[in-house]
Amino acid sequence: MFKKWVITFVLGTFINSTGWAKDSNSIQIKGSDTMVNLSQAWAEKFMEKNPNDFIAVTGGGSGTGISSLISGTCDIANSSREIKAKEIALAQKRGVNPYEIKVGLDGLAVVVHPSNSVSQLTLQQLADIFTGKISNWKEVGGKDLKIVLLSREVNSGTHVYFKEHVLRKGDPASKEEFSPGALMLSSSQALADEVAGNSGAIGYYGMGYISPKQKPVSIAKDAKSPYISPKIENVTNGKYPISRPLFIYTNGIPNGSVKKFADFMLSKEGQEIVLQTDFVPIKK
């Protein structure tokens, strides 16, 4: 008798819970660490207006997000890099059709410890620093201090973007790599903390993470060009040399509540949130 009652109860809750999930339109978002704060801000505002929708946001890196989209464990993948041809091929093999929506822009800030006297670098110097050709701050006009390279892990879209556009300067034939001595940190926050506490460190992350504890470096395309600081207006007008688009990927053209949410991101209000979280809106 008791056993029967327990089984009914368990089955009942199980069925109820699946029913509940359908009613309330839950959306799973996974991917880029750079975009977590932005996504979370969108989700909060959106849920305020649509109390029936539930949105869960997790990070993990762009690669992780896209892998999850391919294996069907998330509805929206945040990515701070374009999807790779390899990933598209794999997705199609599994019956997933990644659909790309550009939702904002991000400037990649290169940061050093506030006590560091170096405040501007050219792209070439930056590449030489991160590949290990320059290993002391005095070679770029700073103190006699060993440079500590900080990088994100390989599952980070920021890592991939930085390698392709700074180390390799966008040249697909280039073979430049991060110096093997570069420390690999698993999150942008960990990287920010390490820069804040280490006077010889240099690292990179999305502009949103800049705080008074780190000093952003101005970057010039080459020695003749002006040095540009990572500010929103410089990314919007295209002057800042290391900026990138931010994407979301869905399985096929979005519909239902995913579409509603994607439309919200691109709406005036959504793009306002982009600006508030220190990214750069795509629409004015």
Partner 1 sequence: MRLTLFKIKEFFIEKLIFLCGLACIFFVLLIFVFLLKEGISLFHTVTPVQFLTGKNWYPISDPAQLEILPLILGSLWVTLGAAIISIPIGVACAIYIAEVAHPKLKELLKTGIELLAAIPSVVLGFIGMVTLVPWVKSVFNLPTGLTALSGSIMLAFMAMPTIVSVAEDALYSIPKSYKEGSLALGATHWQTIYRVLVPAASSGIVAAVMLGIGRVIGETMAVMMITGNAALMPHSILQPVRTLTATIAAEMGEAVVGSEHYFALFAVGIVLFVISFAINVTADSFLHKKR
Neighbours of 49 (CB within 10 A): 10
- Closest CB 130 distance from partner 1, rounded Å: 13
Of 170, 180, 226, 238, the residue at the interface with partner 1 (CB under 8 A) is 180
142 touching partner 1, by CB under 8 A: no
From 33-41, 43-51, 171-179, 229-237, give the range in contact with partner 1 by CB under 8 A: 171-179
Considering only residues 37 through 76, tell me which ones interact with partner 1, judged by CB under 8 A. 60-61, 63-64, 67, 70-71
From 39-47, 174-182, 212-220, 264-272, give the range in contact with partner 1 by CB under 8 A: 174-182
Enumerate the H helices of the chain as residue ranges: 2-24, 36-49, 62-71, 85-93, 123-131, 157-162, 188-197, 232-236, 256-266, 268-276
Enumerate the H helices of 57-206 as residue ranges: 62-71, 85-93, 123-131, 157-162, 188-197
- Residues pairing with 228 in the sheet: 219
Give the torsion sign (CA, 62, 67, 70, 72): negative
Residue type, 196: A
Nearest to 247 by CA among 130, 94, 83, 72: 83
- Closest CB 218 distance from partner 1, rounded Å: 24
Of 69, 118, 148, 166, the residue at the interface with partner 1 (CB under 8 A) is 148
- Residues pairing with 280 in the sheet: 105
From 149-157, 207-215, 233-241, 273-281, give the range in contact with partner 1 by CB under 8 A: 149-157
Q: Tell which phi-psi region holds residue 100, choosing left (phi > 0), alpha (psi between -120 and 50) or beta.
A: beta
146 touching partner 1, by CB under 8 A: yes
Applying CB under 8 A, the site for partner 1 has a residue count of 34
Of 25, 120, 186, 229, the residue at the interface with partner 1 (CB under 8 A) is 186
Point out which residues bind partner 1 (CB under 8 A): 60-61, 63-64, 67, 70-71, 86-87, 90, 145-148, 153-155, 160, 175, 177, 179-186, 190, 194, 197-198, 200-201
